[in-house]
Amino acid sequence: MSDNFQIERILGIDYGVRRIGIALSDPLKISAQPLPTIKAEGMEQVLTELETIIRDKNVTEIVVGMPLNLKGQKSKAAQKVEKFIQYLKNRFKLPVHCWDERWTSLAAQRTIIALGKSPSRHKDKIDQISALIILQSFLDYQSANTSKDVELT
């Protein structure tokens, strides 16, 4: 293996005004692992923390959860997420994918409850798990659509 070999990863983000859930793909882009939640104390601080992760983990793509309503239309919160995505694109010059985040918070809350914990006391964990679900569903989708292109002989 060459010393120049770079493992590329995908970063998953569950954007929130107070907290930002973060998840990272494995080197094979098969599974997602949560990273510590970022406490949002201003856009520059958030972007600086993300820059460190992107650089240190060799992130080459970003997936951001897009809040949609039950009809699949962008919710009111979507405007803030779109603005955040624009900051990401301008700062990092990486592909940024929007991903439907409907039901991720509910699934994350149910996970916390299943672990015997209180969702109201573990909001940072809910954000982590939400980011993980967003990224994992994106990875699963990519894998399913890539495998269709491969012809087995």
Whole-angstrom distance, CA of residue 126 vs CA of residue 28 = 25
Query: Cβ-count burial of 15 within 10 angstroms (0-12 exposed, 13-18 middle, 19+ buried)?
Result: buried
Would you state the pLDDT for residue 152? Answer: 45
Please tell me which residue, 1 or 64, carries the higher pLDDT value.
64
Whole-angstrom distance, CA of residue 49 vs CA of residue 52 = 5
CATH number for the domain running over 9-145: 3.30.420.140
pTM exceeds 0.85: yes
Q: Cβ(90)–Cβ(83) under 8 Å?
A: no
Per-residue pLDDT band at 150 (split at 50, 70, 90): very low
- Write the pLDDT tens digit of every residue in 59-118: 999 999 999 888 888 888 899 999 999 999 999 999 999 999 887 877 888 888 888 888
Amino acid, res. 89: K
Would you state the pLDDT for residue 61? Answer: 97
Beta-bridged to residue 22, according to DSSP, are: 13, 35
